Amino acid sequence: MPERISRKLFEAQLKCGVLGEEDRSLYEYGYQLLIGKLLVYVLILVMGIWTGSLLQIFVFLLAFTPIRQYAGGFHLEKAGACIWASGFLVCAAGQYLRFVPVPGIGTMLLWGVSIGIIWALAPVGCSNKRLDEKETEVYRRRTRILLGLESIVTGIAFAAGYLWISKGVMLAQILLAAGLVAGRWKQTA
């Protein structure tokens, strides 16, 4: 579906003279990415409202999305599979945060290990995005800055009694660390 929509969007702009034929592959790819992201967020919004965990999903995504952009990790090859897997993962995280809002000692220990994994492994590229030396350096620095900021927010939220917020950030970082390990494993397999 995203391919067909992106093709129609490009062809409409081509007819209007906004874009040239030489731009087709670039713009169709960009539109496919945009449509895929929109589908993920619409799916997450609908599921969050339906399950009553929209606020928990929002906190999780607020922590997960920025750092995932720079840290990388595991990537599925097909856009449709990625959309559904992302939607499921985020909704499952929202439900978990909704029904188990207080971080236990196990969560806190796993979070500490996850911080170390993110610090050590990020960034992890994929077959669609090989990172050169400069990109690796920049993405590593940005990941570590975000990791530090999110960890500070987690500590402040925890100290202030907003345990569900601190657990949302912890869960985002735990899942990111798992994705980094899986992504690194996929690269070596």
What tens-digit pLDDT sequence spans the chain (189 residues)?
678 888 888 888 888 888 888 888 888 888 888 888 888 788 888 888 888 888 888 999 999 999 998 998 887 777 678 777 887 888 888 888 888 878 889 999 999 999 999 999 999 987 666 788 999 999 999 999 999 999 999 999 999 999 989 999 999 999 999 999 998 898 787
Alpha carbons 129 and 143: distance in angstroms, whole number? 17
The predicted pLDDT at position 64 comes to 93
As given in the structure block, the two tokens for residue 36 are: 């895929």
Q: Which two tokens stand for residue 55?
A: 């606020």
What is the pLDDT at residue 1? 67
Tokens read off for 75: 């990537």
Predicted local distance difference test score (pLDDT) of residue 128 = 66
pTM attached to this predicted model:
0.81
Are 32 and 41 in contact, with CB atoms under 8 Å apart? no
Which residues are CB-neighbours of 175 under 8 A, at least 6 positions away?
Answer: 64, 89, 93
